[in-house]
Amino acid sequence: MYDLRKFFIDGAWVVPAGRREHPLIDPATETAIGKILLGTPEDVDAAVRAGRTAFATWQQTTREERIELFERIIEAYRARTQEMAAAISDEMGAPMRFALRAQAASGLGHFGAVLAVLKDFEFEESIGSTLIRREPIGVCGLITPWNWPINQISCKVAAALAAGCTIVLKPSEIAPISAHLFTEILVEAGVPKGVFNLIDGEGTTVGAAISRHPDIDMVSFTGSTRAGVQVAKAAADTVKRVSQELGGKSANIILEDADLDAAVKDGVRAMMVNTGQSCNAPSRMLVPARVYDKAVAIAKAAAGQPVIGNPKADGTTMGPVSNRRQFEKIQCLLQQGLDEGATLVAGGLGRPEGLEKGYFVKPTIFADVRNDMTIAREEIFGPVLVMIPYQDEEEAVRMANDTIYGLSGYVYSGDREHARRIARRLRVGMVHLNGAPTDIDAPFGGYKQSGNGREWGREGLQEFLEIKAIMGYSDTGG
């Protein structure tokens, strides 16, 4: 059992003001595996005070001092990677192989990527007689989700630390185990007192208190678009910066000249990764009408490939979704898809055969979907793919862009230049050509209601910086 009933504030593990316990549930068994305490605005005040005090000195640290800290963090993290993978598997149900190679590895990867940026980042430059300085924005509230817990924690924390900011982190109360382990890693690496602070709690209390706090200079939020709107509203009165990475309903356009068999199989596989719990998942597959029936048959066969079950068992490739609320939401949307006339090709309602406990969802394919159906408009956040036929490329691009979201897009073509032309027309922050994976050095973020700002790499670091112009700093041209 995980006993995580302390917060990390001002360099110490402390008993919080909030005393309400919250159970941690293993999504594969629906049994309690630990507990946390839910924080209060008073806990936020204490963490912000610590961050504000520490900022006075941390912002003055040199590039070399931050580099040395990063190197110690990376060394400490690497030594506990297996432990991190086990924590993530316990808290959100990722199969152990995936938890180790993707989930836990992503946390280490972000620190390595930001370290590389930090080594040559230009914090100052001259334009004529004016000096342009990029300075840390201040105390940052980081609010992170349960689907990729350490990935989102690490990409935010690494960028904030590299920029010279101090931090108040609120991980998801559903998946806080990895966050507590991550805090131990930072302590072992020697993060200075008050620079990093951890508080558990619910979004409606701790998240809201962070968002509206007058002494927090920036909020970086990852989660649903609905919750992101609430964060922005709460932050508006203090005119703080808000960076948001929100929902998605990404289109996967398979062009006429693509290898249909390979493209469809890859699209199904990408949709099922992490049990479909990725904001950038390719959840709408757009297929030329003339090969649509063939594509549906390929997708149906591919949906039977995941091995679903105990995340700790060898050979399991798909675990449960992360919590009961998400399981119930998915079931409701599956029923809505049927009610609106979509054709169920694979999967459907209920748990997979032989699994009577746990938040397991069948890998599901819907055909005969229109782009105006609920399952084509709403982010399902589970292993559910909808397939939509199109008559020509103009219609495909129009449907791809016909969404409130704009996070990611996917294009498959036998001609890379053809794929590039389509990619340029998509109103999204990221496009994957022919199954290209995400690039940890590239900016991650979206258009429209998928959020604002960018994470990862150089652009992620820039989010945590203010820009100061000092005019007359030198002689003209100096």
**Averaged pLDDT for residues 193-197:** 99
Q: pLDDT band for 477, please (50, 70, 90 cuts).
A: low
**Averaged pLDDT for residues 338-358:** 97
Asked if residues 361 and 382 have their Cβ atoms less than 8 Å apart, the reply is: yes
pLDDT score, position 478: 47
pLDDT score, position 476: 74
CA distances from 329 to 30, 100, 170, 203, 324 (A): 17, 28, 24, 19, 9
Q: pLDDT tens digit string along 422-435?
A: 999 999 999 999 99
Rounded CA separation 283/280 (Å):
8
Rounded CA separation 62/70 (Å):
13
Mind telling me the catalytic residues?
A: 245, 279
**Averaged pLDDT for residues 357-362:** 98
Q: Does the model's pTM come out above 0.85? A: yes
Please give the domain boundaries of the chain with CATH numbers for all domains: 2-246+450-470 (3.40.605.10), 251-441 (3.40.309.10)
Phi/psi at 214 (5° precision): -70, -20
Rounded CA separation 15/20 (Å):
12
Give counts: helices (H), strands (E), the chain.
Answer: 16, 23
pLDDT score, position 224: 95
- Distance separating the N- and C-terminal Cα atoms of the chain: 62
Q: pLDDT tens digit string along 144-174?
A: 999 999 999 999 999 999 999 999 999 999 9
